[in-house]
Structure 1
């Protein structure tokens, strides 16, 4: 019961310490990364596995999972599936890293551990740094796969993750050992001399980090605030310019005594302005038309715009003739017309938002902006209308207005800042976001400002982009904390060396004894479990033979004899084939020179065993000879099989084109030196395809095999027959001095192939067409010789098949 309670308490302590220290450390993470400059939980985890072993792993997994779920919850209103998956990946990676790190430290240093020698501390530092690559690699890869991390930042996040874990281990493991490590007496004495000084110095560096980080944050956001102010001024300036533009357009109508401006005059005026303001979707003129004037107005407009009528959007979303009401404000002129045709005839008074803007403009006599609306000519995005009332003779004559697609308007205004800022524009009166390119909802807005335009209130919010943060990232605070933590680790190392000197001296004898036993045990285990045979020899008194003094189990298996039957016996007695094999000569040379030798794979045979053996022989300092050897028979057989497959046709067993080409080149080189002759034949089977098509490929394969057998009976052993295609063969006849002899062989082959074949119950009749070329008369290069033999074979086919033709130069004139 007491043991169970202590285990539960240890698990709870691991979880609580891990989660709290981890949450604190993640507050130090550099945006937009996911890793901290120092991550103490890595030290907590490896310290736990180093002290408690693998039984600490479940607690580490739970702690890491809870910590990362907490982190995911703190960045959003709810824990998403991605957050849970990320937490699970990091938890598995953290557990594996703790397991690997603890195992490596226990393996390399042992436990209990005093950490009082430079060698042990060096192992601790190097192995900890190595182990930290586990979580960094698995976690960063997993978060990238989930889309949490960008590919551009993988290297940076991996490095900061790895550094954070490494520094966390260097810092936290000695402190954890001071409170919980063994030998307990030694580590208890180090609480005041190691743990407390390290903790105080580390706290100073953390304070310095926060101060440096505050300075960095403020400095890095200077340009962001300047660009944000510039963007705000740019937006306000461009909107104010719309007010001036509408005032000028209003003056165009007011200056005419009757308030009449033709469509062409409006077009010229608007086009001049559009060249200065390309971000404007359209300029429009919407006259006030009272209900009794409607028919006449529509008729007048149809003279210029066929089919013109005053329209509105119906409940089904389609444009239809406007319902009867006391007055209308139909869009009559619009520039540019292209892309804005649906707006012609649309009654601005047909929707509440537009009607409200009309009323404001009429009452105030000033520019009024509409609430965000769905534009008639661009239903895919929202826009705003900026209206200016036109009064003639103290009565409302209509409105001139600018149509803005907000997204296009803002994008055209702010392209230089787009790589640095995320921008959000909010219509405060409508409580509607009218432009937003934020990547996600930030926990706080770093810049926002309100402004008024057109009797409406707007709020501009900006945040730096990931590119801005990456470009303006400061590493001073991170470097301060990293170098400070590393310095604390070095301080701890010096304190450990100083406090552990006496304990090391007392434990040295026991430690060395234990190491010797462990080393002997490992070597014995290695010797016995090697898959290669190992035999130890001593020179006989006469120095002409060697006595076997020891061998492992693999040697028994390879030599097919028991150990007790080999130890004490001479090599000459146990391996009678050793002289021919060369084993005794190798043993003597190595014994005399002391230089190791590799005896390459050779075939050994005696009355007991036979096979290929490969040996590596060397001499021990005490004069004994060690032979490490393997049975490579299967490998040699596989090598020979692969060689055969690479050079011979799988169906007929004849040499393939590659082997034939090699033999042809060798034969031509020999013939060239001795001024001799050789011949090549191209043989193509006649009527083979009908056999394949009617009797099947199995019968066709049997036929090809029998063809190969018959042709081999017709040539000498020094000749080469090769199958180069489905029913095509080449024959090499070296040392053929007379063309008549060559044609005799060709005729012999032709006759053999013309005889019936009895295969699979069928009597099969085929023939062959054979082309012959002789070196050097018909070609002094392999390619030309083969080509001319092929041409001669073609003439044999053209001459009725079932014949052989010797190449003649005039065949080239009729070469196909």
Structure 2
């Protein structure tokens, strides 16, 4: 190009065509050829760095957001499970409210039907503790022994107390639960505090961290209990005093904390360490559950951390969660290394293209590429045009015949689009069509093709359809996307679409018949009230 320019200049009148006169021009051309590509590379590299930094920040925000969602979801699951267990106990309270005297076999039959071992993880049983004044203790013991338990007694034996709360019913009544029979829960401070709270409030109350009587001599398995008060029928319980006078005992459920947490964290949260502490602070002695013993959830170890408070049945739990390397690997959306590699590659490519653009041949290649795009793509929306979608439909039909698969074709026509053009002008209408095309691109699968035929008519090609339902899912997804308001040029528009669907080979074996039948199905959708999907039927075309 430099030689052409020099030859043209040498033919201008009055110009000196000697080598000395051409040297400044040659020098400038050489430096432009060096500096311009270098400048492009530097600017592209700076842009790559900014994109890399933004991608890194976005990845960290996305990871933090995912972690926060998983922590909220886990805490919600704990709350829901405990509310469900509270409802179970309320059902047992209702059993007492429906009868003046609940017999042992009646209690056992009711709890047995609940199938707590299968349906309620963590519950070791459901029981009833009777309030026994000290002066009635001998009568109470004698009555239980006469029921067929000659060895029954209130344990532990503590003299000088005015009230006892022995467990008289416990189901299932075998195994470790036998140790709890006759246990005086009023003898232990954590249990008594929760029982008194339930009695005075009339609501469910949770105990602090305890070792269940069912554990026997074993230690190290934290547990807790939930209580609901049982009052005499037909008396007022409006005030605390009335509740205390009307109390006959408590329905309760003992829980092992590690059994309660089985299956609570879903697949997405399996790489999070979950720790639960009794009370409103993290105290190691009050730790009730630790999903991963090797990780300290409340430590500042560079991982994502969260500490929250759960208020369950008038009792506080502190929930600490932290991410593990496995969580980061599964949910890290950091694309910054890819951006660095891709950005530098693009920078080099742009540098090369810049150098090529200094040559006429690069301009010719660019012109040819633009001409090809104009021939195959809609200039307004950037979607494939009728010619390109026709070629892809033809290839899809050939592949479908060879593989004996099905092809889906959707013919889409916008509803209420004409008033937009008429009332707001074609410029606004064109912007609306571009946004429609953008939403179509987000609704289709990667292998599908969304194309614009012209006007407000679009086509979606599904080159492989496993079932009618799968294609209809895509169609309804499109309808839902187009039902959302369009904010265009300061105006909000509400449009919809009528979609006709035809399948190869059910509704046609060539491009022409599929297009025709999908179009007929679309008009059938319009007849049926618009904003709907219609699959081609033989009587559709006839009508």
Which TM-score applies when normalising by structure 2? 0.47
Whose Rg is larger?
1
Higher relative contact order (CA 8 A, sep 6+): 2
